[in-house]
Amino acid sequence: MDRLIFRDVVTQEDISTVREIVTSTNFFRIDEIDIAVELVEEHMTTGAASGYHFIFAELAGEVAAYCCFGPVPCSLVSYDIYWIATRSGIQGKGIGTSLLSKAEEAITSLGGQSVFLETSSKDLYEPTRKFYLRNGYTVEAVLEDFYDAGDDKVILRKRL
C-alpha cells in the first residue's frame, strides 16, 4: 500500500469529497450524509470558530478517509468524534486505524483527555463497534430505541 499523507487543512473540494466518501460506505441515510457535508461547510465558513476539526488521509493523491472531531460544549477536556469514514473498497487496510490515531494525537495536543463517539446498535454497525473496541474504546452507555425502534445509540469512550 502507498504511504498515507495526512492533512488538517480543509479545502473547497472537501465538501464533495466528504459526500462521496460517506455515501460510498452505504451506511448512512441522505439526511445523515447532508449533516456530514454541513460540518465541512460550517468549517469553511467560520474556520476554527465552528468547533469542527478535520483530518484527511490521502492515498495515492486521493482522499481515502476523513475524521471530524471537536470539543464537547461546556467541557474543558472532552472531545467528540463526529465522523470517521473510509472510502468503500479500501476499508480494512488500516487506514481508519491510522486516521483515528492521528485524530487522537490532535485531540491530545488540544488538551483533550477523553474522546467520546456514538454509533448504532444495528447489525450493520457491528464491524464499526468492533473497530472502536480494538482501538481502546469502551462502551459507556447504551440508549435503547434512540435512533428507531430496535436501533440503540451506543456511546463509547477512550481516555487519552
Query: What's the whole-number mean pLDDT along residues 29-47?
Result: 97
32 pLDDT tier (thresholds 50, 70, 90): very high
pTM for this predicted structure:
0.95
Q: CB-based contacts of 62: which residues, under 8 Å, 6+ apart?
A: none
CATH class (in words) of the domain with range 4-113 = alpha beta
Length of the chain: 160
The full set of domain ranges for the chain reads 4-113
Q: Cα dihedral sign for 8, 10, 11, 14? A: positive
> What pLDDT is recorded for position 139?
98
User: What percentage of residues in the chain have a pLDDT greater than 70?
Assistant: 99
Checking if the pLDDT of 46 tops 60, the result is yes
> What number of helices (H) and strands (E) belong to the chain?
4, 7
Query: What's the whole-number mean pLDDT along residues 105-109?
Result: 98
Question: Higher model confidence: residue 2 or residue 100?
Answer: 100
Q: How far apart are CA 41 and CA 12, in angstroms?
A: 8
Checking if the pLDDT of 1 tops 70, the result is no
Q: How far apart are CA 116 and CA 78, in angstroms?
A: 7
β-strands 114-120, 78-86 pairing: parallel
Q: What are 2's three cell numbers?
A: 502507498
Q: What are 139's three cell numbers?
A: 462502551
